């Protein structure tokens, strides 16, 4: 800091400096109080003045406070030599790279969720669609039917919720359910919504950890209402398969597109129900 006898040529008063840096004067006072950033000159009348060159230093502090602790930041400001500068910036680059990776992951999930909601908006509930679906890798919960009666659903659901939290998946697809295709005709067991809950497999998880939802032809229909009542459309799916000579696959996949995250009223939830099938080459689906 300059001594009070030094001239104040080209110095900036604190109010102007705060405006240039996009902060208020209280921020400058606080940083001076804690010894993080002080004015270049203090006049005898108590007026604070800053060097123009301090603008870059101050913006550097604002940027570094996002990736450094206050104690590390104070040390950097007071030490400031080439070796320590390199150390600080190398660590900063690592931290920012991690943040960018996380933000890109979250952005991709949010875009996927938007696609699913748009699919729900565009879907015709009265139509059964026939589409080719690509292979997927899913993270499965324990078998609900193998768990303690009355506690199987919460326990299985909890395992998937925990997996999603650990892998930062909550902004994307919802938690889906898998049930044996035999339940289409037999009905779901009392008190059980699905046999397994599932989530998309995290990108960093080995594919060997996932359950393979095979690529192939699927019947798709969209159910509007509480996803615990999706069995209402099962007879329609079975009838469509019978009329078109479809051989239904082993599992049925239910995935919420518009769920409690999107809609307040369960009557407006949209669930996609996907049923794999095979058919002889000469057979054709009815429109």
pLDDT tens track for 113-168: 999 999 999 999 999 999 999 999 999 999 998 887 777 888 999 999 999 999 99
Domain count for the chain, please give it. 2
Structural domain including 170 reads: 125-278
Could you tell me if 190 and 268 lie in one domain? yes
CATH number of the domain residue 212 falls in: 3.20.80.10
Could you tell me if 41 and 177 lie in one domain? no
Q: At a CB cut-off of 8 Å and minimum separation 6, what does 14 contact?
A: 25, 28, 39, 47, 48, 49, 50
Token pair 């705060």: residue: 18
**Average pLDDT of the residues of the chain:** 89
Could you tell me if 136 and 274 lie in one domain? yes
The residue-averaged pLDDT of 18-37 equals: 90
How far apart are the C-alpha atoms of 226 and 270, rounded to whole Å? 8
Whether residue 90 lies inside any domain: the answer is no
Whether residue 88 lies inside any domain: the answer is no
Q: Contact 61/36 with Cβ under 8 angstroms?
A: yes
Could you tell me if 74 and 155 lie in one domain? no
13: three-class secondary structure by DSSP: strand
Could you tell me if 272 and 144 lie in one domain? yes
Could you tell me if 215 and 130 lie in one domain? yes
Q: Model's pTM, two decimal places?
A: 0.75
Could you tell me if 209 and 147 lie in one domain? yes
Could you tell me if 58 and 137 lie in one domain? no
Whether residue 45 lies inside any domain: the answer is yes
Whether residue 134 lies inside any domain: the answer is yes
Whether residue 109 lies inside any domain: the answer is no
Distance of CA 96 to the CA centre of its chain: 18
């Amino acid at each position: 800091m300059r001594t009070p006898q030094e001239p104040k040529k080209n110095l900036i008063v604190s109010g102007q400096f705060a405006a240039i840096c996009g902060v208020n004067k209280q921020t400058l006072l606080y940083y001076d109080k804690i010894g993080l950033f002080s004015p270049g000159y203090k006049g005898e009348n108590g007026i604070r003045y800053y060097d123009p060159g301090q603008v870059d230093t101050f913006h550097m502090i604002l940027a570094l406070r996002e990736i450094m602790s206050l104690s590390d930041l104070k040390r950097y400001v007071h030490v400031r030599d080439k070796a320590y500068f390199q150390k600080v910036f190398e660590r900063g680059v690592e931290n920012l790279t991690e943040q960018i990776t996380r933000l890109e992951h979250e952005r991709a999930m949010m875009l996927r969720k938007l696609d699913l909601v748009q699919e729900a908006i565009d879907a015709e509930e009265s139509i059964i669609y026939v589409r080719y679906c690509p292979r997927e890798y899913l993270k499965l919960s324990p078998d609900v039917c193998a768990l303690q009666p009355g506690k199987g659903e919460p326990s299985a659901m909890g395992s998937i919720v925990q997996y999603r939290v650990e892998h930062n998946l909550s902004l994307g697809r919802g938690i889906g359910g898998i049930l044996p295709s035999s339940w289409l005709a037999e009905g779901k067991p009392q008190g059980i919504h699905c046999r397994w809950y599932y989530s998309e497999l995290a990108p960093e998880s080995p594919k060997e950890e996932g359950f393979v939802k095979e690529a192939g032809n699927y019947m798709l229909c969209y159910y509007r209402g509480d996803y615990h009542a999706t069995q209402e459309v099962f007879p329609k799916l079975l009838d469509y398969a019978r009329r078109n000579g479809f051989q239904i696959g082993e599992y049925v996949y239910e995935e919420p597109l518009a769920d409690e995250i999107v809609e307040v009223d369960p009557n407006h939830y949209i669930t996609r129900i996907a049923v794999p099938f095979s058919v002889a080459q000469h057979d054709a689906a009815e429109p």
